[in-house]
Amino acid sequence: MRFSIPVIVLLGGVMGSPQLERRNCNHDNCLRALIGSSTVASSFCSTYLGSTSVAVPTWASACSNLPSKISSGCSCINTAGSTTSTTSSAPVVPTTSSTSTSSPSSSSAAPSTTSTSSSAPTTTSSSLSSSSSVVSSTTSSAPPWVKTSAPAGAIIVDGADPFEPGSFPTVQEGVNALSPSTTTPQVLFIYPGTYVEQVYIPALKSNLTVQGWTLDSRSYQGNAATITFNLALLNVSNDDETATVRQWNPNTKFYNLNIANTFGHVSTNGQNLALSAHTTNQGYYGVQLWGYQDTLLANTGNQLYAKSLIVGAIDFIFGQTATAWLDNIDIRTIATGCVTASGRSTAANPSWYVINNSSVAGINSSIPAGDNYLGRPWESFARVVFQYTYLSDVIAPAGWRVWSTAVGGATNIGNVTFAEYDNYGPGSILEEGPRANFSEQLDAPITIESILGDAYEDEWWVDLSYLD
């Protein structure tokens, strides 16, 4: 079972937490990650010799009640000193300030797999939130938002050494262990760690829940499992094939995972997806999506994203035919660009992208004011709405822009619906303006029923607890 070292990262800065030095042992030792100070560790480990006669404190029993494991953990702890960390294990991508005018490539090609890599490039961007969490004790009576053990019957992914018995060391191996024929709902549970691989989830006949280990599933800030890869379009033939997670199974829910594409920026064929959500009836809750260009491809069918973080620079929320509702999303820009790029190409296309009750801001204070836009039209019937959303000063006064600003370039604004309702903050029309003349301010908000259907509350893949 793998645990990350606790680091708390706040908007605008990083705050370190005490960490113990360690000798040669499992670098993510479960017990060690649970210890908050050397005093506690020294006091307990000096008297604990693997004997059941010594009471196990709650912070240790949250990891394991096995004397052998606790003794092993104590043997790995150097209680003589401590260090303070000032870096986050959250996924980050390189940042630059140039804007690409290249369009997303065809994203509807049949899926194909890409071989995984054993390493990813080191990156230097500031992080918004931690991919680890200070760990506290959990018991069988833990509240329902504590997700630190796999439910019965789940496929378990654990890349640690030693690992959870019966688990798989990579996410793809866990996916491959799912039954393609059963109609019984399946669960994939991912223990803490950084999994450097590309993951392809094919169509199954069952509902699928993918749950990352967390102490608080109500927020993305304590996510402890990260899947990261580094492909761009210049390496492959279409957008989908660049994605770190390629999700082709309908009726799927993701919880508390960080998904990153760390490729960064190049001026041509630089599209690099974190998540390719290619089928209908998908819900993403408490996730972090990190990329640069085209971070999230929400491409087909009904999709819901809630209480999550989406990071990028260029067209980093985009797609062609999806009806997507994004609720309570922290959208963070890392360089000059546009948040959305709708590929709705005809009036008959049902696609909507509605960002509701969310926030748009720079990843840190280095992002200049007025250098970002809410969206640009990939196709001429683009349809995007921002409502009840905080807009920081990174949003330009015009709010929206044409597809290409090059001389003779396509503007694609003839039939767009670029709309806002009751947004606020220094980047809103209340404090800026005028907005682009091809955009509008709505008289009433768009309802979730009009996007996901009147019976959305009854859908299995819709988790209403994230829509409060």
DSSP summary character for residue 458: G
Write out the DSSP string of 393-421: TTB-TT-B--S--STT-----TT-EEEEE
Overall number of domains in the chain? 2
Please report the pLDDT score of residue 432 as a whole number. Answer: 82
pLDDT exceeds 60 at position 333 = yes
Residues 204 and 328 in one domain: yes
Residues 69 and 191 in one domain: no
Residues 207 and 318 in one domain: yes
Cα 432 to chain centroid distance, Å, stands at 30
This prediction's pTM:
0.76
DSSP-based three-state secondary structure for 253: strand
Assign 407 a pLDDT band (cuts: 50, 70, 90): confident
Mean pLDDT rounded to a whole number for the chain: 81
* Residue 96: Cβ-neighbour burial (10 angstroms; 0-12, 13-18, 19+): middle
Residues 370 and 451 in one domain: yes
Domain annotation covers residue 110: no
Half-sphere exposure of 120 (CA within 13 A, CB side): 24
Residues 171 and 66 in one domain: no
Assign 57 a pLDDT band (cuts: 50, 70, 90): low
Domain annotation covers residue 279: yes
Question: Which has more pLDDT, 450 or 117?
Answer: 450
Here the contacts of 443-449 (C-beta below 8 Å, separation 24 or greater) are 445/356, 445/387, 445/388, 445/421, 446/352, 446/354, 446/356, 446/385, 446/387, 446/421, 448/325, 448/327, 448/354, 448/356
User: Of the residues 37, 58, 84, which one is the last residue of a structural domain?
Assistant: 84
- Among the residue ranges 160-164, 203-207, 380-384, the one predicted with the least confidence is 160-164
Mean pLDDT of 346-375: 98
pLDDT exceeds 80 at position 24 = no
Our CA dihedral for 159, 165, 171, 176, rounded to 10 degrees, sits at: 150
Question: Which has more pLDDT, 78 or 311?
Answer: 311
Residues 163 and 43 in one domain: no
Residues 319 and 175 in one domain: yes
Domain annotation covers residue 89: no
Please report the pLDDT score of residue 161 as a whole number. Answer: 83
Task: CATH number of the domain at 219, please.
Answer: 2.160.20.10
Domain annotation covers residue 322: yes
| Helices and strands: H and E segment counts in the chain | 6, 28
Residues 170 and 73 in one domain: no
Assign 114 a pLDDT band (cuts: 50, 70, 90): very low
Contacting residues for 394 by C-beta, under 8 A, at least 6 apart: 333, 360, 361, 362, 367, 368, 369, 370, 371, 372, 427
Residues 79 and 204 in one domain: no
Assign 141 a pLDDT band (cuts: 50, 70, 90): confident
Among 393, 436, 430, 397, residue whose Cα is nearest residue 418: 436
Please report the pLDDT score of residue 162 as a whole number. Answer: 80
User: Of the residues 53, 84, 115, which one is the last residue of a structural domain?
Assistant: 84
Please report the pLDDT score of residue 78 as a whole number. Answer: 39
pLDDT exceeds 60 at position 119 = no
Please report the pLDDT score of residue 150 as a whole number. Answer: 96
Assign 55 a pLDDT band (cuts: 50, 70, 90): low
pLDDT digits (tens, 9 = 90+) for 273-319: 999 999 999 999 999 999 999 999 999 999 999 999 999 999 999 99
Residues 170 and 67 in one domain: no
How many other C-beta atoms lie within 10 A of the C-beta of residue 232? 23
pLDDT exceeds 60 at position 108 = no
Domain annotation covers residue 132: no
Domain annotation covers residue 109: no
Mean pLDDT of 265-272: 91
Mean pLDDT of 11-36: 34
User: Of the residues 31, 50, 84, which one is the last residue of a structural domain?
Assistant: 84
Please report the pLDDT score of residue 305 as a whole number. Answer: 99
Residues 161 and 77 in one domain: no
Assign 29 a pLDDT band (cuts: 50, 70, 90): very low
Active site residues: 315
In which domain, by residue range, is 45 found? 18-84
Domain annotation covers residue 34: yes
- Among the residue ranges 39-43, 266-270, 427-431, the one predicted with the least confidence is 39-43
Domain annotation covers residue 6: no
How many other C-beta atoms lie within 10 A of the C-beta of residue 71? 15
Integer Cα distance of 119 and 419 in angstroms? 42
Please report the pLDDT score of residue 61 as a whole number. Answer: 52
Among 346, 303, 347, residue whose Cα is nearest residue 326: 303
